[in-house]
A and B are shown apart, each in its own frame.
Chain A
Amino acid sequence: MQFEMDPVSTSQRDSVLEITEGGTFPSAGPGTAGAGCGCN
């Protein structure tokens, strides 16, 4: 019984949330830190 049914799809969604919710979304990785610079 796992929590991620499809890890790739889950992370795809999470990566989109990085775009829409910016630095408030918790996942960590290159470029994720902070409210961040960017065009959007």
Chain B
Amino acid sequence: MKRYAVVLFAVTVTATAAAQPSEPPASAGSDSPASDAPGASDYRDVLSEAPTPAAPSGDPPTGTVRAGVYHDSDQTTVWRLLGNLGQAFGQWELSAGLGIDAVTSASVDVRSSPVLSKVDTVTSASGLSSTSGGQMTDTRYQGTIGAGWKASEGRAINLTSALAKESDYASVSGGINGSFDILDRTTTLLGGVTITDNWISSVINSTIHRKMFATAWSFGIARVLTPQDAVRLRYDGKLNEGYIASPYRSVRFGDWSATLGSQQITFANVIDTLAEREPEQRLSSAVVLEWVHSLAPGIGLHPQARISHDSWGVQSLTAGADLRVARPSWRFEIGYRFYLQSAADFFSDKYVEASSMYAYYTSDKELGRQVGHLGQVDLAVVLIEPETVGGSRMLLNLQVAAMHYAYTGFTLLPMRDSMFASAGLSCEY
């Protein structure tokens, strides 16, 4: 159930530092030299977090609690709960987070598994109660700790670490990233590296104990072009080495046909069935270009585009834009994102020859061709305003995202619709 491992990490770490290699901080313009243009400072609240009241001495601690649920048409549900605390000490800030994801799934991957789709085989052989026929459940726990240093001259360094555990997957991660302002602080150089060690096992086969090591890096430059415009160009890279496949997904060989059931998928004309086999190294690269533009005081537009390529032959194109509106007591954001991806070199919907004819084979639909659409709405409302400088403030955050993916040429799941909704409170004392 590793896929969901990602969820809380991204949330908690970004909340603490906003500086993952994939999401480095862009300080260019956030504190750039004052513009002569009238009202230049007015746009800034559109494009940044709601202003924090200045405390007379020191910064107040901050806290965030969020709960959310993900559900899709592939019979998968994830309940999420996370909390995060931060405290600044002069130029330093320390943060810690805890997250829990509870997953229930009867997805195509589960129902097509020869073992997972059988109740008796799974439960009696493994002695575990974490699976039942045609359905898997799991819970993931993650803790994060971060430390950041920020100088007034526009230099910042962040250290992040995380530890995560679920029944069949464990990982530990550490990272460093930073940013450096130049050219009178109109330009920011940024970069970071994260390493992650992963331990993979299986609830249906106690002999599987594999490892995978991941290194991710990101470098970029952000520049303020005008009082209304800033751009950021970034390169992201990632190298995975080790066991990248799934211990649960199975591949059928032959010109098979399938009958989809609610608990099990029945196959006919299968000449062989094996666990999927994927290369044990994968190098991915992506270039991301973003632009933030102020349409009017309190209203901003944020288009972005991304292209990626990896050593498995997967190429993707992402394009999207969001509109942001900020007022003293609320913020609103609405966005759309388009995703287009080609298939991996070794991906096939059907491997019709004998298994010995293939070096690698997979039944992962996300390694095939896919087209995705995402729409998202965010709303943040100030519930309690500080009555005095340094007083407490509370915000209500609401978020809804809807997604539609088409998996062209994937017989078992031609499309998937997903919905994610979350609500949270952010407090500053």
Contact = CB atoms under 8 A, between A and B. Distances in A.
* A joins B in a complex: yes
B418 A15 contact: no
Interface of chain B, main secondary structure: strand
B151 to A, nearest CB: 17
A36 B390 CA distance: 46
A25 B77 CA distance: 20
Contacts of B96: none
Given A29-B194, A31-B169, A35-B362, A8 B424 contact: yes
B22 A28 contact: yes
Given A36-B2, A38-B246, A30 B23 contact: no
- Contact residues on A (Cβ < 8 Å of other chain), bracket: 35 or more
B26 A26 contact: no
Interface of A: 1-24, 26-40
Nearest to B8: A15
Interface in B294-323: 294, 300, 302, 308, 310, 314, 316
Given A3-B302, A16-B418, A37 B333 contact: no
Contact of B48 (A5, A12, A23): A5
B294 to A, nearest CB: 8
B4 interface: yes
Contacts of B84: 8
B145 interface: no
B2 A12 contact: no
Nearest to A14: B10
Contact of B341 (A10, A14, A24, A27): A24
B366 interface: yes
B123 interface: no
A37 B169 contact: yes
Interface stretch (B52-60, B258-266, B399-407): B399-407
